[in-house]
Structures are given as C-alpha cells and as structure tokens.
Structure 1
Amino acid sequence: MPTTTSSAPAWLHSIAVVGLGKIGLPLAVQYARHGYKVIGCDSNSQVVERLYAGESHIQEEPSLSSEVPQLVYAGLLSATTNIAKAIREVDVVVVIVPVGIDSEHQVDTTQIDAATSAIGANLQPGTLVIYETTLPVGTTARHLRTLLEQTSQLQAGTDFYLAYSPERVSSGTIFHDLRAYPKVVGGIDVESTTRTIAFYRSVLDAEIIPMASTDEAEFVKLIEATYRDVNIALANEYACYADAHNLDVYATIAAANTQPYAHIHTPGVGVGGHCIPVYPYFLFSNPYDHSQLSQAYTDQHTLALPRQARHINDAMAEYAIQRLEDVVGPLLQQSVLLLGVAYRGNVRETAFTSAKLLQTALTRRGAICYVDDALFSMDELCTLGYTALPPNAENKIVAIILQCHHSIYQQFDFTRFKQCKVVLDGRHALCRTTVEAAGMHYITVGDGHYKVKHEPFE
C-alpha cells in the first residue's frame, strides 16, 4: 500500500515521469508507492490507454500487474500524452527517454531533445528537472540545460533546478535494484544537488552518493558499462587462448576468481543489450566534450582498451561460427539453429542481440539460419528479421547454437534433431551430458578443443 515517507520535503507533492518504458513505468510506480501523485508522460497513446485501464504494458516486472491497478484506482498514478499539461502541474520532472547510437555509432539525442524542448516550453519556476537516461559526459550541463533555458526563458540554478542521476537497474529486477544499489546524483549547482538528494531520499531506501557535478554523475554510468565490456572482452581473449592451448577457460577463471582481487567475467558469443554495447560509444563520440585536450589527442591516446573491447566482443560471433566449422566443415547450404534471439536470458528484449551478429556470420558463409525463441511469436520473429524454425526443417539442422540462456532451454529436446552433429553452448549454460546423450558434440568457446585445421566431423 502507498505510504508517505517522513522525510518528504515540504516543496514536493507531485512528480512527472517522462517516458513510460521498461524503466520509466517502474520508476513511476516506485514514486507513487510513497504517496506522491505521479503523472506518467508518453507519446505512445496505447501505453497511456492501458495504464488508464489499470494495466501494465511491461511484463518483466511481475509486481507491476498488481501494483499498477492499485495505484491508478487510488488516484496516485495516471498517464497522459499531453506532456505540456503534466509539466505545468508538477514539482519534479524525471526524464527517462532513450538516447542511442546510429548506424555509424554516433550519439543520437533526437528523442530526448524533443522531450526536453516540450518540458522547457511548459516549465514552471521552482521545478526540479532530473535526467536518468544514460548520457555522454557534459550533455546535461551544456546541451540539455541550453535547450531548457531557450524554450522556457528561465535560468537553470536560479529559476529552476537541474540534476543528473543515472538509472542503475536491470530488466526483471528493477525494484530490487532500486533498493540495493546506491543512487548517484549530481546537480549543476549546490541547490540543485541538495534538492535532488532530498527527492530521492523521500522515494528510495537506497544510499545516496552525491557527485561534484552532473558531468561526474554521467561519467559514473559510462564507466560502469565500459568496465563490464572490457572485462568480458578480456574473458573472451582468455577463451580464445584456452582453445589454442588445449585449456579449459571456465575452470581456469573459476580458480582465478577465488583470489579476492580477480573478478573475471564469463566469455561467450557476444554482448547484447541496451547498455554494454552502446555506452562505450558515448565516450568515443561525445559531441559535448569540451575538454581542454584537443580532439586529435583524445582520439589518439585515450580509451584504447574500451575501443578494442568493442571490436573483440563483436568479433566473437565470427569466432563461434569458426568453431562450428571445425566440427561440421563448410556451412554452405547447411542449416543451423539459433536458440534465443533475446539479448539476455528470460528477458523479452532484443537490443543489440548477438543473434544478429551470428545470423550475419552464418549468412556470409551461405548457411541457412533458423531461430527458436519461446518469448516471441513466429510473426514477431519474422518482423525482427529472422526465420522461425518450421517443424519440417528439424531433420535438416546440422548444428545448434545456444545464443541466449532462457531457462526453458534447460529442458530442450535435442533428440528431435536427428542430423545435428554439434551444439555450441554460447553461454556455457547447457548440460554437456544431455547434449552428448543425444549423440551430438558439445562445444563452447574456451573449452580447449579448437581444431585449427578445420577438420570436418566424421
């Protein structure tokens, strides 16, 4: 049930959440839980209509199905496509609108720019605006501040308050993460930071970590994601080394990680998701980097490891297909099945999934690529650019790749595929004995059984 926190600041009564996606809606629910009137703003009328009917369009957070209707009927949670009216009625605006990269890996702020202009055009004096979207360093203090000031004719730090606080949650565990992970905040000035801390203390139970600026707060999220990408790339390099030297990388990593200063991640066939494959590029191609170093020096001398990590992780799909060819030989006109198109197990999301890189690598060799993913319908798979496996193609499959570790694949019936010679466990998640009992070779990157000469299976 909603509860009003004893630490509620006197100036805080209502909140707008701009962007009701997989993070925005849970944030709106989190705030409404604490007794505040929350207005969710979204350009998608279907999302708004479902929320008005007491329905959640986000399925990955189980508690939303019960909490959304309770909060809607209690009058604490509402939604609208009319952002102008909502912004004029609230004390705090939390913005969680996507920023991504284009096909050239350049930062694309189109959506957040549009949202910011709409917010600014209706901004009231005294309002606190907080961005939670992951942003390149300097975006809040320079680019977004300028947009807000130009459209509102108000001055940040004097007429309204502005801060940045990166979301640090994952799909499926958002409410847990909001409790468990400290909230990083940074304002454009002392008063903006102070008000942001007061706001989050009234809606979260987590520790609050103030930073010296919005730039530092933005940097926190970028180095979190980049650290993981670099660590995974290192693990993938270890896996390739292990294959070349007849070593088991998983046993080796497990032993190494018993030393308290080692935190080596798990190798695999690639890195997907909204964060890890994207946010390193916010460091490489930052349009708001006004540092004193020249751009030429920055390009030449900084961020060499993250740049190389992106290349290594994206290249693992090609390496995985080479591993398949070691067993079955050339894949021209051979049928291969990918298990899972989602970027992560048990999550219905496909952002930057490694399935696309694997599909491309297979197609380049003239292979026929089929997919299976119980979280998506056959029509959805087709829309995503895949060919769902038809029943009459089961006897054509010569190789299977586990791309995504959905729990359902623990009970997958490999015996259906009578002609399949090898299963490549791209996430080191399957039971080897189950695969081998079906008469197939079990391989994974880093198992130490890479045949350099690509000798065909006999």
Structure 2
Amino acid sequence: MTEARSTVDSLYGAAAEQEVQREAFLNGDVPVAVYGLGKMGLPLASVFADVSGNVVGADIDPDVVATVNSGGCHVKREPGLEELVGSVVSEGALEATTEPSEAASRASIHVVIVPTPITDEKEPDLAILDAVIEDIGAGLESGDLVLIECTVPPQTTTQRVVSRLEEGSRLEVGEFGVAFCPERTSSGRALEDIRGAYPKVVGGVDSESTRAAEVVYEAINSEGVLTVSDATTAECVKVFEGLYRDVNIALANELARFTDELGVDVNEAIEIANTQPFCDIHDPGPGVGGHCIPYYPYFLIEPFETETSLLETARAVNDAMPSFTVEKVREGLEADGKSLAESTVVVLGLTYRPGVEEIRASPSIPVSEQLSDAGVDVYGVDPMLDSVEEFALDQVELDEVAELYPDAVVMVTPHEEFDDINWGEFHRNDNDLSVVIDGRDTLAGKEIEAPVYTIGGGGKLGDSGRGGNR
C-alpha cells in the first residue's frame, strides 16, 4: 500500500484504490492547473489550492498574474475570496503564470474555465477555449485528466475538445481522460457555490473519465457529485438551466405587458399563482443581463438544425423589455406635458443585478442608449462602477441627483445603497419629477410624490402617489 500511495501522481487510469487516489489529490501529489483566473476562475483555483495544496493558475493578463502572485485579489465583492487567495498564495499552494503551456506541462489535472461568449452574429465564440485546449494538448501526458467547466454548446467536448487534444498530444482518449463538469456559480457567492451549495455535475467522454472526475469533485464539493451518462448530457444540464430561466422570465415579462390593459397588478397575480406547487413564474423586469442567461439560448439556436421557435421568441421578448421601459418613461413624461427629447432622466443601477460589478448585457445599456438617441440628457448612478464608458450617459453620485432636477428616474438595478434614498430631495426647489419607473418592484412603501410605474405592477401615469404599487 505504501508503494501505491507514492506512485499516484495522476488519476485517469490509476490502478490504486479510490481512497488512495483521493488522498493523493488532497496531499498535492496530483498537480492541478486552472486555466482562466477571472471572476469564476480565481475562486475555483483558490478552492482547488485550499483543498489540494498544489495549483498553478494560468491567465494571459499579466496584471492578473502579478496580482495573484503577490497574494492580491482582482475579483471584487466575493465574500471570503480576498482572504483565501492571500492564504493559499502565502502557503505556496497557488501560483499563477501568463503561459498556459507552462501550466500544462506541470499539471496532470487540467481545469478549463474561460469565457465562451457569442459573436455579433449571435454565434458561439469558442476561440479562447480552442487556444487553451491547444496549449493543454501540447503538454498532455498519459494519465492526465481534462475538466471543462465553462459553458459550451452541447457536443463541444466530444466533437471539438477531444479531437484537438488528441491532435496536440498524439495520444488518444483512453490514454487521457476528459469530462465536462459545469460551473454552477453565481457572482457574489462563488466560494459558497463551488464548495457545495449544489451538487457537482460530472459527465465524462468515457466511464473512466467520469470516475476520475468524481474523485476530484467529491473532495471539493460537500454536496457530492451527480454523475450523468456522458459529457454531452452534462453540457445539456448547464445550458438547459439557463434556457429554463430565460424562457420563464420571458413569460413573466410578457404577462407584465398586460398590466395596463387588464388593469391588474400582474406581480401580485404571479405571487399568488406561485403558491400552487406546479407554478413557478419568475419576476418580470426591464430586461435580462449577465454573462449567462442572455447567451446560452444561442448555444442551441445557432449550431443545430432543430427549430428553436420558443427559445428565439423568449430572447425577443426579453430583449424588448428595455424598449418597453423607455416607452413607459415617454408615457409618464407626456402625461405631465413634457417631451422626452427635452427631459433629464436618471438611471439608477447600471450593473445587471444588485451587488454585482458585472455589466455584460445589462438592461441599463440599451435603456441609456435609447434615451440618449431620443435626445434625453441621461445620467447614471451605480456604486459598483468606477467607469461607465459602455453606457450612453454621464455618471453622477447619488447625492448629486437632486441637483440635476430630473424629469424621470428609472430604477433598473436596485442596489442596497438605494434603499435609503430620500425621494423628497428630488422635488426640492419646486422641481417637477414627472415619473419614476420601478423596474424590479422594489419601491413599494417608499414616500415618492411623483407617479410611480412598476413593471408588472402598473401605475396611473400623470397622477401623483403610488399608482398601482402595493
């Protein structure tokens, strides 16, 4: 048994007992490389380092690498991450390099978590993944295990990753393993999610890949591992999770558009409908943002021939919500005798969700663009952001809003810093605030003199008071 323990430096195809392999991983005898040290990659690399004590992280950004190697943390607002990075770096458990090929030559477990965006033509862009796989292939050895965590179109692992690894390494699957093990992590709770908020999903290109991946993630995730039939099934799990949310939100948003015609608070109806156990309608809002939900539908829409009318309709509905929001601003101003083109509008919350620094696909981007295109003087407030160059607006601090004498305010993303806004300040000096758009139904109970229109809740524009808000 002593000899078996000393010779376990890789997991795929290892002859040692499962528990011996697990101990080798936990003792750092099986070196790990994590490719991509972004907002999800750095937390993942840090947890691997904390558990195994032998991790090299690869990122092509030299500033990121320098920060990590100094024990710093460039990913902000992730509870516990700064302390964890400092700890594992000081212990020698984590180091970083700008050379993925160097990381590949040192590791026998390769964990890939790089961006997989879409192009302007709405097609999956896997160029970064391809480049990383090429580097791994050049350093791949018999017994190595490649774990893909970044979201990809189904069949990517079997039809794209494997062939590139085989070509670069001159090895074949069976000599090395590959599994798709999707990240199921949200910004602002990355460490909690990685360590076990939900079970880890694992699907290998062969049974040995699945088994070896299970050894790894059972040591990482306290909720255990859910093994599925194969890598493509695991890819579907991740994509389907996002598609469900996009379609569900689209239903909520379409129902919200009936608010005025039906004369009801749709949000109230949704809340009560959801007391039935078979109903789980999500919340409507001014749009859908982030690096996941708005993109994943195109991982099925574009690469495959099967018709995707529902997915495409859901995308169209959700993409139209910023325009709906702007139209409600226009209606509120016109009800008060004002022109949109001659107005000042303040957008509160520019990131895609509260408490998170991410702006990718944020509804505030098209909202600001459409207001600006209409001739509006647009200003934005967001405590998460130092720069707003992606938005068609000027950034101001919250305490400067009253001095702008806004004609309308749009609450897109309700950061907690907005909870204590003194709405009365927006009316001082006889300023006439004509309308407030409550994008996420978070202003109920606030003392707001202006008419408030809540997406899904309604409100009688042109009248003072709370309108249709509960």
Q: Return the TM-score normalized by structure 1.
A: 0.90
**1:382-393 equivalences in 2 (<5 Å):** 382=389, 385-389=392-396, 391=400
Matched residues in 1 for 2:390 and 2:370: separation? 20
Are 2:339 and 1:322 equivalent residues in the alignment? no
Instruction: Tell me the C-alpha RMSD between the 2 structures.
Output: 2.1
Cα offset, 1:192, TM superposition: 0.8
Match of 1:419 in 2: 432
Are 2:322 and 1:306 equivalent residues in the alignment? no
Gaps of 5+ in 2: 1-17, 466-470
Matched residues in 2 for 1:446 and 1:44: separation? 43
Match of 1:403 in 2: 412
Matched residues in 2 for 1:172 and 1:211: separation? 28
Are 2:49 and 1:32 equivalent residues in the alignment? yes
Cα offset, 1:457, TM superposition: 9.0
Matched residues in 1 for 2:435 and 2:259: separation? 20
Seen in structure 2, the aligned counterparts of structure 1 residues 210 and 365 have a Cα distance that, compared at 3 Å, is same
Match of 1:292 in 2: none
**Aligned partner letter, 1:445:** I
What does the per-residue CA deviation read over 1:311-370, in whole Å, with 9 as the maximum and x for residues that have no partner? 001101111122222221141121111111101101011010001121232134222221
Match of 2:3 in 1: none
**Aligned partner letter, 2:324:** Y
Correspondence for 1:104 among 121, 125, 138: 121
Out of 314-323 and 383-392, give the one that drifted further: 383-392
What does the per-residue CA deviation read over 1:87-134, in whole Å, with 9 as the maximum and x for residues that have no partner? 112120000011011111111111111111111111122110010000
Match of 1:78 in 2: 95
**Aligned partner letter, 2:243:** T
Seen in structure 2, the aligned counterparts of structure 1 residues 7 and 34 have a Cα distance that, compared at 3 Å, is farther
What does the per-residue CA deviation read over 1:177-206, in whole Å, with 9 as the maximum and x for residues that have no partner? 221211111111111111111111122212
Cα offset, 1:37, TM superposition: 0.5
CA contact (8 A) 2:145 2:178 kept: yes
Secondary structure, aligned partner of 1:382? coil
Are 2:360 and 1:351 equivalent residues in the alignment? yes
CA contact (8 A) 2:110 2:146 kept: yes
Correspondence for 1:242 among 235, 252, 259: 259
Secondary structure, aligned partner of 2:110? strand
Out of 419-428 and 349-358, give the one that drifted further: 419-428
Matched residues in 2 for 1:200 and 1:138: separation? 22
Gaps of 5+ in 1: 290-294
Cα offset, 1:395, TM superposition: 3.6
Match of 2:65 in 1: 48
The number of equivalent residue pairs is 433
Out of 129-138 and 30-39, give the one that drifted further: 30-39
CA contact (8 A) 1:38 1:78 kept: yes
Matched residues in 1 for 2:309 and 2:35: separation? 36
Matched residues in 2 for 1:316 and 1:385: separation? 17
**1:58-457 equivalences in 2 (<5 Å):** 58-156=75-173, 158-178=174-194, 179-286=196-303, 289=304, 295=305, 298=306, 302-329=307-334, 330-377=339-386, 380-382=387-389, 385-389=392-396, 391=400, 394-417=403-426, 418-434=431-447, 436=448, 439-449=449-459
Secondary structure, aligned partner of 1:397? coil
Of structures 1 and 2, the one scoring higher in RCO (CA 8 A, sep 6+) is: 1
**Aligned partner letter, 2:327:** Q
CA contact (8 A) 2:451 2:464 kept: no
What does the per-residue CA deviation read over 1:1-44, in whole Å, with 9 as the maximum and x for residues that have no partner? xxxx9775366421110000111111111112213301111111
Matched residues in 2 for 1:457 and 1:365: separation? 25
